[in-house]
């Protein structure tokens, strides 16, 4: 299969084709694979991790906010169906999704440049669990892409659940113009092992790995300024080197980062001038810039 809508080189074996996720050939539907949805987005950025608790959603929120602050029309799709935390981290968890014509959904607009869609907006209350099998999750993800009135987007950031399951595969098959995937890990070996699986998952789908971010990488002591290696430092860089993928940088542990998420005020909006804040911002700026460099590379 080819990725230019031409079947001149297609043998019909879509499931064994490395280009299948980027292709929209008419034979693809016959093979049982999903065709791309139609939406006006220039770049889709996937944010995923091999395991939970590594700060993946924090990275996704701050990346989307950073892009919108730069003037880009940005959307963030919370594809973590069972654990939709994006609205909480943006301070909009009491909002609801609305339809303007009975079919299309209006995203919740955080600013004029940033729209959000999440299962959290559809729950009757914050503690309600989503008890769905794969087919229902796939339908919801398709609706988040196809039935949301995103308008013309420069970037759509997709926050995926941990692992390489239904949601990640659905997005990879359905979303158009995928610029690549950002893999978030922490420095310890068990997290690195799982993030390695995420890298190989993206590569098997024929998509670009934008790089690995090493999150929670050392704690900067607010008293002496020294770095305390709580989870270690350097595991993400080592994994990136071994897998021959870009290393996007590290983000240290910062209590303000946790506080920002809990209060619904992304860290990307905070600059307080303290030494710890300056040090964290140095790393955050580097990571965000490196992501954009890889997209445009």
User: Which residue has tokens 């996937």?
Assistant: 46
Q: Give me the pLDDT at residue 15, please.
A: 52
Q: Give me the pLDDT at residue 8, please.
A: 47
In contact, 70 and 111? CB cutoff 8 Å? no
pTM: 0.87
Residue 54 among known ligand-binding residues: yes
- Same domain for 61 and 18: no
Q: Give me the pLDDT at residue 256, please.
A: 87
- Same domain for 100 and 22: no
| Residue 117 neighbours by CB distance under 10 Å | 29
Q: Give me the pLDDT at residue 274, please.
A: 75
Residue 55 among known ligand-binding residues: yes
Residue 49 among known ligand-binding residues: no
Q: Give me the pLDDT at residue 235, please.
A: 87
User: 201: part of which helix (H) or strand (E)?
Assistant: helix 189-204
- Same domain for 136 and 106: yes
Q: Give me the pLDDT at residue 6, please.
A: 42
13-22 per-position pLDDT tens digit:
555 555 555 5
Three-class DSSP category at 40:
coil
Taking CA atoms, 213 is separated from 251, 252, 256, 292, in Å, by 8, 11, 19, 13
Residue 16 among known ligand-binding residues: no
For residue 29, the enclosing domain spans 1-35
- Same domain for 19 and 50: no
- Same domain for 77 and 31: no
87-96 per-position pLDDT tens digit:
999 999 999 9
- Same domain for 57 and 204: yes
Q: Give me the pLDDT at residue 25, please.
A: 60
- Same domain for 250 and 151: yes
- Same domain for 41 and 5: no
Residues in the chain: 297
Residue 53 among known ligand-binding residues: yes
Residue 204 among known ligand-binding residues: no
Q: Output the 3-class SS for 271-286.
A: CCCCHHHHHHHHHHHH
- CATH number, domain with residue 246: 3.40.50.300
- Same domain for 162 and 108: yes
In contact, 170 and 34? CB cutoff 8 Å? yes
- Same domain for 25 and 52: no
- Same domain for 208 and 278: yes
Residue 180 among known ligand-binding residues: no
Q: Give me the pLDDT at residue 53, please.
A: 87
Residue 190 among known ligand-binding residues: no
- Tens-level pLDDT at each residue, the chain (297 residues): 444 444 445 655 555 555 555 565 655 554 456 789 999 999 999 999 988 889 999 999 999 999 999 999 999 999 999 999 999 999 999 999 988 777 889 999 998 999 999 999 999 888 899 999 889 999 999 999 999 999 999 999 999 999 888 999 999 999 999 999 999 999 888 888 888 999 999 999 999 999 999 999 888 777 777 778 888 788 899 899 999 999 999 998 888 888 898 999 888 887 777 777 888 888 999 999 999 999 998
User: Which residue has tokens 């769905």?
Assistant: 132
- Same domain for 136 and 78: yes
Query: What is the number of domains present in the chain?
Result: 2
């Amino acid at each position: 299969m080819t990725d230019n809508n031409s079947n001149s080189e297609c043998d019909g074996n879509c499931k064994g084709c490395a280009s299948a996720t980027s292709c929209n050939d008419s034979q693809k539907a016959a093979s049982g694979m999903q065709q791309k949805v139609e939406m006006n987005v220039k770049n889709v950025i996937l944010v995923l991790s091999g395991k939970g608790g590594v700060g993946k959603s924090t990275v996704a929120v701050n990346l989307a906010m950073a892009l919108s602050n730069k003037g880009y029309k940005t959307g963030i799709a919370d594809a973590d169906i069972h654990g939709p935390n994006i609205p909480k981290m943006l301070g909009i968890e009491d909002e609801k999704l609305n339809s303007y014509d009975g079919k299309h959904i209006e995203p919740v607009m955080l600013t004029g440049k940033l729209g959000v869609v999440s299962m959290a907006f559809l729950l009757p209350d914050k503690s309600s669990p989503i008890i769905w099998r794969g087919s229902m999750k796939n339908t919801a993800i398709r609706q988040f892409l196809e039935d949301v009135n995103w308008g013309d987007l420069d970037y759509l950031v997709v926050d995926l659940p941990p692992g390489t399951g239904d949601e990640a595969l659905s997005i990879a098959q359905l979303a158009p113009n995928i610029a690549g995937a950002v893999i978030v890990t922490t420095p310890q070996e068990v997290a690195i092992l799982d993030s390695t699986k995420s890298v190989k998952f993206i590569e098997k789908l024929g998509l670009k790995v934008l790089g690995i971010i090493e999150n929670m990488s050392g704690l900067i002591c607010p008293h002496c300024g020294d770095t305390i290696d709580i989870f270690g430092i350097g595991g993400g860089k080592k994994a990136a080197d071994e897998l021959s993928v870009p290393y996007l940088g590290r983000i240290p542990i910062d209590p303000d980062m946790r506080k920002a998420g809990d209060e619904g005020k992304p860290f990307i909006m905070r600059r307080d001038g303290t030494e710890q804040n300056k040090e964290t911002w140095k790393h955050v700026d580097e990571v965000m810039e490196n992501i954009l460099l890889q997209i445009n590379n």
